[in-house]
A and B are shown apart, each in its own frame.
Chain A
Amino acid sequence: MVFTVSEKGLELRKTVEEISGQNIFQCYQCGKCSAACPVVDSMDMAPNKIIRFVQTGDLEVLDQNTFWVCAACFTCSARCPRSVDIAKIMEALRNVMLRNKQDFINIYSKEFIEKMIEEIPQMAIVAAIKKGVW
């Protein structure tokens, strides 16, 4: 079977590698990251599959909620037998979206403001905004 990767797919792969500083082909798809991820149940696509999609330059990867759901807890990176820093790849994918002016949250939306109840620690708000708004 001949496997071709589109121009755009190649570009995405390159950008992700650049932003994350990771060699995406280090990953040999063992799935340990996905097994370890504490929030994998809320993800459209498991982390190892996300990496596979980036490897193959499949642009659908950008439509997944995975990297927005990522809590940046570094569990995946700690477990990877190939020393791939998956958390950095998630950050790179977030950045691909954000730098393309596609914010994940709108901090002026009613929905967001309502979340800001008095008990919520600022650190949660700042973290969510840092990860989800450019």
Chain B
Amino acid sequence: MEYPYYPGCTLKTTGKKDEEAALEVAKLLGFELKELPTWTCCGVVYNLTSDVMADHLSATRTLIRAQEMGRELKTNKLVTLCSMCYNVLKQVNLMYKNNPDKLYNINLFMDTEEDYLGNIEILHFLEVLYNDIGLEKIKQKVKTPLKDLKVDPYYGCMLLRPKTIAFDNQDNPHVMGDILSALGAIVIENPMTVECCGAHQVITNKEAVLDCVQRIVNISQSKGSDVIVTPCPLCQYNLTTAQKSLFQKGKINYQTPVIYLSELLRIALSDNNENYLKEYMFIKDKLEKRGGL
């Protein structure tokens, strides 16, 4: 199976690790993420006004690229790795479904592009794993069970809100936890899993991000997590850097590593993971101690 795949700007830079790991995980699970040949920024934040259309252009262009590639690959799906890209693309797509007149107008405006027909389905990588591949198959493919590794799946806001775009239970999501259980990990229940990490406020109001992260990490640590797992490059950044500041300020006692779900998947699924494990010594230590390796 081949899926058209939209990476987004950050996955090419600070979120590179996520992309590298995810592409490999896909291969290990028998599918391929084919990057759109050209793409533009998704817009990052969905414009919430009722009257500005210009901000939807970026996402629309990507939907058209997906439509083109989908014809070739005979699919109407488009896979994203980044939570914010997922959110924006899906919200824009939905907006067109509910407002055909807006789709008509935007097609009229984009007169050098083919018309967007409104049929693309936006999927997050997690959905592909959970729905199209399935837990059973993932379980079968595990080479190194993450035995007894205590993981805290952190969703953040963009995958589950607003409700109309959520692919999991909005308040009590389980998809990421289920996948991690399939890898043999112990999944911690953190009520803060759908709390916001502060998002772009890291630029304009860093203090707010520190507060958000402290609340998330406090519970995670009190429940004894070894690692926080996230699908979003902004959450990964905020959680990691805010912990550093919080630690320096003495507001937390230690820093919990924050890694991408794809990274953990790669460790569990690949035959030869020695190389990867080197990068994640804390996991190696934990696994060895608990007889997981």
Contact = CB atoms under 8 A, between A and B. Distances in A.
In their complex, do chains A and B touch, with some C-beta pair under 8 Å?
yes
Label chain A's interface by main secondary structure.
helix
Contacts of B211: 38-39, 41-42
A13 interface: no
Contacts of B41: 126
Interface stretch (A3-11, A27-35, A49-57, A84-92): A84-92
Contacts, number: 138
Interface string B224-258: 00000000011001000100000000000000000
A123 B87 CA distance: 13
A105 interface: yes
A10 B218 CA distance: 45
Contacts of B50: 18-21, 88
Interface in A74-107: 74-75, 77-78, 85, 87-88, 90-92, 95, 104-105
Contact of B49 (A41, A95, A104): A95
Given A39-B212, A78-B161, A128 B14 contact: no
A119 B233 CA distance: 11
- Please classify how large the interface on chain A is, using the bins under 10, 10 to 19, 20 to 34, 35 or more: 35 or more
Given A78-B170, A91-B49, A71 B43 contact: no
A25 to B, nearest CB: 17
A132 interface: yes
A127 B200 CA distance: 6
- Please classify how large the interface on chain B is, using the bins under 10, 10 to 19, 20 to 34, 35 or more: 35 or more
A90 B284 CA distance: 45
Interface string A103-134: 01100000010010001111111111011100
B161 A74 contact: yes
A120 to B, nearest CB: 7
A19 B51 CA distance: 6
Given A87-B48, A120-B237, A127-B45, A105 B13 contact: no
**Which of A72, A120, A121, A125 is most buried by chain B, counting CB atoms within 10 A of its CB?**
A121
A69 B205 contact: yes
A119 B199 contact: no
B55 A130 contact: yes
Nearest to A104: B204
Nearest to B170: A78
B10 A130 contact: no
Contacts of B51: 18-19
B236 to A, nearest CB: 8
Given A20-B48, A73-B161, A125 B203 contact: yes
Nearest to A37: B196
A97 B222 CA distance: 42
A73 B196 contact: yes
A38 B198 contact: yes
B237 A39 contact: no
